[in-house]
Amino acid sequence: MLYRKMKKAAPELSILGFGCMRLPVKENGQIDEKTATGMIRYAIDHGVNYVDTAYPYHNGESEPFVGRALADGYREKVNLATKLPSWLVTSREDMDKYLDEQLARLGTDTIDFYLVHGLNQPFWENLSALGVTDFLDAAIADGRIRHAGFSFHDNVTLFKEIVNSYDWTFAQIQYNFMDEHYQAGTEGLLYAAEKGLGIVVMEPIRGGLLARELAGITGIWQKAKVRHSPAEWALRWVWNHPEVTVVLSGMSTPEQVRQNVALAGTGLPGSLTRSESALFGKVRKELKKRIIIPCTGCKYCLPCPNGVSIPECFEMFNRGHIYEDEEQTRQHYSMFLGGFFDGTPHYASLCEECGECEEKCPQSLPIREHLKTVSAYFGK
C-alpha cells in the first residue's frame, strides 16, 4: 500500500480509500454485514486507513454498519470520514444535531475527516447563511471532528469560491479520465492543490461504468505492453496525479477489494508512460463518439420554468448509451433528478414544450424533441 499526505493533516493516508456507498447487499436490500465486514477488515489489514461513509448511504444504514465493522480495534487503525447531510439542514442547531447523531451511529467520539456533503449553489448559499463555517470551527475546537472538508457537485467557479471561503483541510471531487472538465475538473483540482487542500477523489471508475468491457474499447487497452483491466486503468489514471491524496472506491465484492488493494501498491504519481497516457486519449475519443445529444452543459437554457434539469437529463441519457448500462443510469436518473436532495423532481417528462430553452441555447439544439427522447428512454 502506498500513502500520501495532505498539507494540513498529520496522518499519512492510504491512496486507496474504502467507500461505503456500494456495499454488498442481500436479496432484501439490506447490507450483507458478514461479507461487508470481512471486506472492510481485509482492506484495513492490508494497509487501507481511510474509510468513507455518509448519512444517507444504504438508506441510512451505512454509518451504523461502519461503526459495527470497525469494532474489535479496527476503529483505531483508520481515519474515518463522513458527511453533514446538507439538504436536511434548516438551522444552525441542525448541524450539531446531525453531527451528534452521526457520532452515536458510528460509535465514536471523533470523526477524523468531516465533509459538508454534496455542495452546489443552493446548498452552499443556505449553509453559509446559517453559519456552517462557525459550526465547523466549533466542532474542531470541541474535538468532535479533526479536519473539515467538503464534497462538491457544481461548476468550477463555485468550487473556487468555496475553496476560498474557509480554511478547509481537503475537498472531495468527482474525477476520472472521462470527467477531466466535469464539475470541478482538472482546473478545480489544481486550484485547490495550490491553495494547500488535500484532494479526495470519488467516482474514479464512474460508479463502475469505466470497468465495463465495452465493444471497441477493450481492444485499445490490449495494445498496452503491460495488461490491466479497465478498472485498473481508471484507477491508475487518477493516482497518476500528484495532487490527489486518496482515491475512493465503492467496492461491492471481496474480489474487488483484493484487486484494488494489490493495485494500490503501484499507484505512484507520474507513473504512466507516454504510450500508456496516449491510450486514454484514444479511449476517451472512442467513448465520446457515442454521445447522442451534443449538449455542452453550458446551462444557458436554465432555469426551466417547469423545473427540468435539462443538461443533467441529457448527460444521464448520453451516459446510458456511452457505457451500455441502462439499468444503473436509470437508477442515477431517478435519484439525482427525482428530488432526493431538494425534494423537487427535475425529470425530462416535466417539459411542457414552451420553447424558452431553445431560444437561449447557443448550440441551437432541438431541446424539446431531445427531452421527449430522454423521457421515452427513462420513462415518466
Tell me the per-residue pLDDT of 152-161, one tens digit each, with 9 for 90 and over. 988 999 999 9
Q: Which residues contact 4 (CB under 8 A, 6 or more apart)?
A: 12, 13, 15, 244, 245, 246
Question: Nearest 5 degrees, angle CA 214-CA 24-CA 217?
Answer: 10
Q: Say what the pTM is.
A: 0.87
Question: pLDDT digits over 306-329, tens only?
Answer: 999 999 999 899 988 888 888 888
Rounded Cα gap, residues 172 and 54, in angstroms: 13
Ranges of the chain with pLDDT below 70: 340-341, 380
Q: φ, ψ for residue 130 (rounded to 5)?
A: -85, -5
Rounded Cα gap, residues 74 and 67, in angstroms: 10
Q: Which residues contact 329 (CB under 8 A, 6 or more apart)?
A: 316, 317, 319, 320, 323
Which cell goes with 273?
508512460
Tell me, what's the pLDDT at 332?
83
SS3 140: helix
Rounded Cα gap, residues 254 and 353, in angstroms: 48
Which cell goes with 377?
428512454
Tell me, what's the pLDDT at 341?
67
Tell me, what's the pLDDT at 173?
96
Tell me, what's the pLDDT at 111?
98
Which cell goes with 55?
448519512
Rounded Cα gap, residues 206 and 323, in angstroms: 10
Rounded Cα gap, residues 227 and 25, in angstroms: 31
Describe the crossing of helices 156-163 and 121-130 by its angle, rounded to 10 degrees.
Answer: 20
Which cell goes with 240?
497518476
Domain boundaries, the chain: 3-281, 310-378
Which cell goes with 277?
497516457
Other Cβ atoms closer than 10 A to 260: 22
**Fold for domain 3-281?**
TIM Barrel (3.20.20)
Tell me, what's the pLDDT at 362?
79
SS3 171: strand
